Structure 1
């Protein structure tokens, strides 16, 4: 389950998702309320962290998902932490991708105080903040900058003001932190993980590893996740159950590397990628003729993630590779 950060949407995972699909994993990349194709909701200005946690938790419950690896990028770490604490019986592992790692009672603004001023400068009035320019987050490829600018949408400010509700995460849940070395906001978080003996991995990239280093990131995620056979919807989930969850089972939508990908996407999926894979979108399902920007499902194939310079520390004990 891939959960985007501020100003994002399920679209931001379009380089990474095919690699995980090719490795045999069922992949969901939902868009949170008030953003991307779910923007212009009458509730936009009042949407907070609690609404995002409720929304994602509802997806797991309606689809009857178990054995889930939750991956939260940036602000998405606030949401995945809340969901994992609420539904620990459904979550196998938690991965923070250059993300917030809050305790109950902490907000984004508490953890990174300078964000308060940033959001004030970006305020559109009415409780939303326009997107922060991706160049300010270290993105230096002009095509990537243009693509991120074109897709990003305003963020409800309350999502960053509202503290994480309880309960706390269970101590037994495997948790990994992946730090993007060319963005310093979460350097102290990575150091804290190391000090507590928790696994940390590093990627030599800016804040959006899923855009600039999809193959290397896929390799790290496949190490952090349990085997693909354990990460799936319940085998007995009926079409009716999936329909209630908002999932279009086996919709024939192309899942090739061009689906929703920015110009020059470097998706190295190797042999076995199914171009007619079923798409299960969960939240914010697009029309049946849309490209799969909100989640792709397949159960075969292989992925070559041997390139790149990803470094990991202590990941081997978290779970088998797919």
Structure 2
């Protein structure tokens, strides 16, 4: 009989698993809803002295030792994955599988604080820890849970219960590094990805396809994935569906991601159009694709998305889609510009914005570029970087374009209060032309941000042109080589160049 040990995330205890545990027992399994020290709930009661991550790991180890049989599945949600991984590392011979519920796989030496999505919240934790290293982090107010993950699907009464039962989190549980011997790495693992919180199998496949060694373990034979169309607390918003997923995970089911090399990753497939090759020059992180033209020409700067791991090769400016777009712009009389910016993790949007601003200055200073006629074209998660330029467009910026962009931070990204919110910034765009290429088969959590942007643009009278690709996917230029897709690329490019006053014949 399978025994599920269910470990909750920050500020919560075993009570959050009540419905899931009941469903597992009804299916013939055993279930243990764990409340770790200091997490008794009820909205009060500080943790006792000395409660840290090691305390929680040892409590799980003792529970594992009491559970009869060998078929033990450890389930960790959010913070809970840290004590789960620590305990599994010490009792690997007893564990048949680990299930990560809407959380990544921490590495040796990672503190749970690394999981906190918002930089301001992380700094707050560190500040509190400096004042009192053994203190606690107050439980979130009802309106603050969204900062820790999407509350999509949570009924109002469940959100109220989450707030009422939440406990202050002992700071040492968040700041103490997780130590692993390596034994846990050999255990089969399943990931439950909550799509309303911004994670999905498609995102995992994209990260593996980027070729960075840090992500190749996600394509191992013993790693599988499931999706749930809900927010960060599926045990409260979709308990029945989570029960089904846990039972299937314990049986070894789930989607396995293809390892790099079995199939060419989507971002490295050919551009959907044959474009005449133009000269290409590289300076630092910037490539210029040059037209056949005398005198300064307008420029289109293409801004990739991410995060793209620092070790990914090739880098985005050498990906077929960006080379194709830049060469296409050059073939029509403009300077096509590709840039490698340093959006290597979600916390690096500020650094990436600085890289783009620096690249633009370099481009505008080039004598072959008309520095007063520049367009910026943002792609995918690079769309958030459009916010600064929409909020206060400089005179030389003649057009902003975006292809299947993310136009508001996704839940769980920790950017809710940041400046990177194009859907809000568009109110400052005035009459700046905006060309948006929208795909009909977009991931729902991204499509919501696009519709929010379109609505905001309409409300403020922005000069928005929408080009639809009804049967297009995210990244359609290399995965949907159809006449419809090619027509959309032509229309978008000619619109952008028209706003630049560039010849497009």
State the TM-score, normalizing by the size of structure 1: 0.63
3, 9, 34: which one pairs with 1:30? 34
In structure 1, the residue corresponding to 2:226 is in which secondary structure?
A: strand
18, 32, 36: which one pairs with 2:22? 18
Checking the alignment, whether the CA contact within 8 Å between 1:180 and 1:202 is kept in structure 2 is: yes
Residues 118 and 225 (structure 1), Cα distance of their counterparts in 2 relative to 1, 3 Å cut: farther
Pairwise CA distance, 1:49: 1.0
1:148 is the counterpart of 2:159? no
Pairwise CA distance, 1:164: 0.8
Match of 2:125 in 1: 119
Provide the rounded CA distance (Å) in 1 between the counterparts of 2:235 and 2:41. Answer: 20
Match of 2:150 in 1: 138
Provide the rounded CA distance (Å) in 2 between the counterparts of 1:67 and 1:16. Answer: 18
Deviates more, 1:77-86 or 1:33-42: 33-42
Deviates more, 1:142-151 or 1:160-169: 160-169
Pairwise CA distance, 1:186: 9.1
Higher strand share: 2
Provide the rounded CA distance (Å) in 2 between the counterparts of 1:120 and 1:166. Answer: 23
Pairwise CA distance, 1:25: 0.3
1:215 is the counterpart of 2:251? no
Matches within 5 A, 1:137-286: 137-139=149-151, 141-184=155-198, 190=204, 195=216, 196-197=218-219, 198-226=223-251
Residues 188 and 3 (structure 1), Cα distance of their counterparts in 2 relative to 1, 3 Å cut: farther
Provide the rounded CA distance (Å) in 2 between the counterparts of 1:186 and 1:48. Answer: 31
Matches within 5 A, 1:77-88: 77-88=81-92
Pairwise CA distance, 1:131: 1.4
Say how many residue pairs are matched. Answer: 225
Q: Which has the larger radius of gyration?
A: 2
Higher helix share: 2
Pairwise CA distance, 1:166: 2.1
Match of 2:380 in 1: none
Residues 72 and 189 (structure 1), Cα distance of their counterparts in 2 relative to 1, 3 Å cut: farther
Structure 2 gaps of 5+ residues are 209-214, 253-505
Pairwise CA distance, 1:118: 4.9
Deviates more, 1:110-119 or 1:161-170: 110-119
In structure 2, the residue corresponding to 1:32 is in which secondary structure?
A: coil
Match of 1:3 in 2: 7
Structure 1 gaps of 5+ residues are 228-322
Pairwise CA distance, 1:148: 0.4
Match of 1:259 in 2: none
Checking the alignment, whether the CA contact within 8 Å between 1:177 and 1:190 is kept in structure 2 is: no
Residues 168 and 8 (structure 1), Cα distance of their counterparts in 2 relative to 1, 3 Å cut: same
Checking the alignment, whether the CA contact within 8 Å between 1:103 and 1:168 is kept in structure 2 is: no
Give deviations 1:84-132, integer Å, cap 9, x for gaps: 1110111011000012411111112235572513535888966101112
Checking the alignment, whether the CA contact within 8 Å between 1:78 and 1:100 is kept in structure 2 is: no
Give deviations 1:258-293, integer Å, cap 9, x for gaps: xxxxxxxxxxxxxxxxxxxxxxxxxxxxxxxxxxxx
Provide the rounded CA distance (Å) in 2 between the counterparts of 1:33 and 1:184. Answer: 30
Checking the alignment, whether the CA contact within 8 Å between 2:47 and 2:136 is kept in structure 1 is: no
Checking the alignment, whether the CA contact within 8 Å between 1:2 and 1:30 is kept in structure 2 is: yes
Match of 2:402 in 1: none
State the TM-score, normalizing by the size of structure 2: 0.41
